[in-house]
Structure 1
Amino acid sequence: MPYWAALPYLEKGYVVARKITEEGLYSNLYAAIRKEDASLAYIEDFHQTVKAQSFSTLPGLSVLEL
């Protein structure tokens, strides 16, 4: 479960976080679009909105460097 999804329950003491490995468990989330749609205004706007909202409201996120 993503940290941001579990955080409200952690803060209330309903659950306890435990690492699965020494480093914890992390995964990458990707978004894909068709090449021909990449420059469409609504696609670019959606990408910027999701990026801005996610990083401003979901704790524990980090930028995936490609």
Structure 2
Amino acid sequence: MKEISKVRLEFDLHEYRQLALVIRDHKSLLYKLKMNELIKQGLIKDLNIIVGILERAELK
């Protein structure tokens, strides 16, 4: 059975929102880069997961 690990990060609200903006900006830049399409799609998928986590945490 897989062991589940949890990590808790605390940010000031301003820093938190800044982090979310930076990640979104980086994601938009990925669309413009010329790289292997599978790698690009993997990075975009990872960034979508991170942005989703940040957005859900902001609602709490």
* TM-score tier after normalising by the smaller chain length: 0.3 to 0.5
TM-score (norm 2): 0.38
Higher helix share: 2
Tell me which structure has the larger Cα radius of gyration. 1
TM-score (norm 1): 0.36
